[in-house]
């Protein structure tokens, strides 16, 4: 009897088990990959490759690893032109593009002051550290395409790719999966996800988190073939005297941005949705939605500082239907 039961289970296993997933803690966040593939060995190899790629991007762009290409650039670029990899040069170009679109709301040089926050220890920059606000300006990052080299025009300029690197890693992994024949899958690193295809006849469902109630969703989005990124002031923060200090910094002041609690951006690639979710958070409702509406293929949900939800035009039209 028991033998028959086991045989029955084995008979149904392959169909159910053709979804393969893996999870790991990388880039200071939870990385998750889910894919459909008939071939178990190929699936396992792709999951290995996905995690190796996440680690590679982390090793290259982490500001916490002294050996990373980013750390080396920060160390030297105020003094001299520093040749960089194609990958870093391209990413810096994309970051600059979003800075231009947003009038500097997205600005990787925010870290000139932002580096002095410690959200675990509850530390804000002191007056002297805050003075580095004058080193914040994306135009201080000079890019020389002919030499693929980078220089900082201000001695205190310091950059951090935390607002765009996870999306980049997600796109890189998605490209590996697609090249490996995956037609249905999802890749996420913290709040940045890329959905490949549908969930075999059904859409994928991505929740929009209530910024003030952990685990409660204010919306569930049915999605296919898209990238989605969320930025929130509940991710890394501390409170002092009733004020919330969190990790998304207004480059104009060096202080945490306070025009929103949560922003979700939808688009074709995660590098862009990642950068834009951070951007719209800094811009707030009015300027944020205006930018989303201006950009082709970009939609946004902004939860304002009072907890009200605002939608970009295309989403509002969808909801109204």
Residues that bind Mg ion (CB under 5 A): 229, 231, 274, 277-278
Residues within window 282-321 making contact with ligand AMP, judged by CB under 6 A: 282
Distance CA 274, CA 276 (A): 5
With contacts defined by CB under 6 A, name the span among 2-10, 176-184, 276-284, 308-316 that binds ligand AMP.
Answer: 276-284
247 binds, among ligand AMP, Mg ion, none (CB under 5 to 8 A by kind): ligand AMP
| 46 vs 261 by CB, closer to Mg ion | 261
The strand pairing partners of 275, in sequence order, are: none
| 104 vs 185 by CB, closer to ligand AMP | 104
CA atoms within 13 A on the CB side of 280: 35
The dihedral formed by the CA atoms of 186, 291, 250 and 158, expressed in degrees to the nearest 10: 70
According to the binding rule CB under 6 A, does residue 160 interact with ligand AMP?
yes
| 43 vs 282 by CB, closer to ligand AMP | 282
Least distance to ligand AMP, CB of residue 81, Å: 23
Residues 6+ positions from 120 with CB-CB distance below 8 Å: none
Residues within window 90-119 making contact with ligand AMP, judged by CB under 6 A: 106-108, 110, 114
Least distance to ligand AMP, CB of residue 199, Å: 25
Contact 60, 199 (CB under 8 A): no
In the chain, where does DSSP find H-type helix?
2-16, 40-61, 69-76, 86-101, 111-114, 127-130, 165-179, 270-294, 313-320
Instruction: State how far Cα 254 lies from the chain centre.
Output: 20
Phi, psi (degrees; rounded to nearest 5) at 69:
-60, -35
| 269 vs 274 by CB, closer to ligand AMP | 274
According to the binding rule CB under 6 A, does residue 254 interact with ligand AMP?
no
According to the binding rule CB under 6 A, does residue 278 interact with ligand AMP?
yes
| 35 vs 302 by CB, closer to ligand AMP | 302
The strand pairing partners of 219, in sequence order, are: 208
Distance CA 163, CA 5 (A): 51
152 binds, among ligand AMP, Mg ion, none (CB under 5 to 8 A by kind): none
Residue selected from 125, 185, 211, 251 as contacting ligand AMP according to rule CB under 6 A: 251
Long-range contacts of 310-319 (CB under 8 A, 24+ apart): 310/285, 313/289, 315/266
Residues within window 178-197 making contact with ligand AMP, judged by CB under 6 A: 191
223 binds, among Mg ion, ligand AMP, none (CB under 5 to 8 A by kind): none
According to the binding rule CB under 6 A, does residue 171 interact with ligand AMP?
no
Stated as kind and residue range, the H or E segment containing 144 is: strand 141-144
| 43 vs 174 by CB, closer to ligand AMP | 174
Contact 260, 303 (CB under 8 A): yes
Distance CA 148, CA 43 (A): 36
With contacts defined by CB under 6 A, name the span among 202-210, 244-252, 283-291, 311-319 that binds ligand AMP.
Answer: 244-252
In eight-state DSSP terms, residue 153 is: S
Which string of x and - marks every residue 19-38 that binds ligand AMP (by CB under 6 A)? Answer: --------------------
Structure token pair of residue 297: 């293929």
- Interface residues with ligand AMP (CB under 6 A) are 106-108, 110, 114, 160, 162-163, 191, 231, 235, 247-249, 251, 274, 277-278, 282
């Amino acid at each position: 009897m028991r033998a028959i039961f086991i045989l029955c289970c084995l008979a149904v296993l392959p169909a159910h088990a053709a979804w393969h997933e893996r999870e790991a803690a990388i880039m200071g966040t939870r990385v998750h990959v889910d894919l459909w593939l008939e071939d178990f060995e190929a699936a396992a190899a792709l999951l290995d490759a996905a995690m190796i790629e996440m680690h590679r991007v982390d090793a290259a762009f982490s500001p916490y690893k002294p050996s990373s290409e980013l750390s080396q650039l920060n160390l030297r670029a105020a003094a001299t032109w520093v040749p960089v990899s194609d990958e870093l040069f391209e990413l810096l170009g994309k970051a600059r593009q979003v800075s231009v679109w947003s009038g500097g709301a997205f600005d990787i040089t925010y870290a000139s002051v932002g580096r002095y926050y410690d959200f675990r220890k509850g530390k804000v920059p002191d007056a002297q550290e805050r003075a580095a606000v004058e080193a914040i300006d994306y135009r201080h990052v000079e890019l020389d395409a002919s030499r693929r080299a980078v220089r900082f025009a201000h001695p205190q300029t310091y950059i951090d790719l935390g607002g765009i690197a996870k999306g980049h890693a997600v796109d890189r992994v998605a490209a590996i999966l697609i090249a490996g024949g995956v037609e249905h899958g999802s890749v996420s690193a913290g709040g940045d996800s890329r959905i490949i295809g549908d969930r075999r006849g059904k859409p994928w469902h991505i929740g929009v988190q209530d910024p003030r109630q952990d685990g409660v969703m204010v919306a569930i989005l049915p999605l296919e073939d898209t990238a989605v990124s969320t930025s929130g002031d509940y991710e890394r923060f501390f409170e002092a005297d009733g004020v919330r200090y969190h990790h998304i910094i207004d480059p104009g002041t060096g202080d945490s941005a306070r025009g929103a609690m949560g922003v979700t951006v939808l688009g074709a690639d995660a590098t862009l949705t990642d950068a834009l979710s951070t951007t719209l958070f800094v811009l707030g409702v009015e300027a944020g939605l205006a930018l989303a509406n201006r950009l082709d293929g970009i939609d946004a949900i902004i939860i304002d500082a009072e907890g009200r939800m605002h939608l970009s035009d295309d989403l509002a039209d969808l909801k109204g239907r």
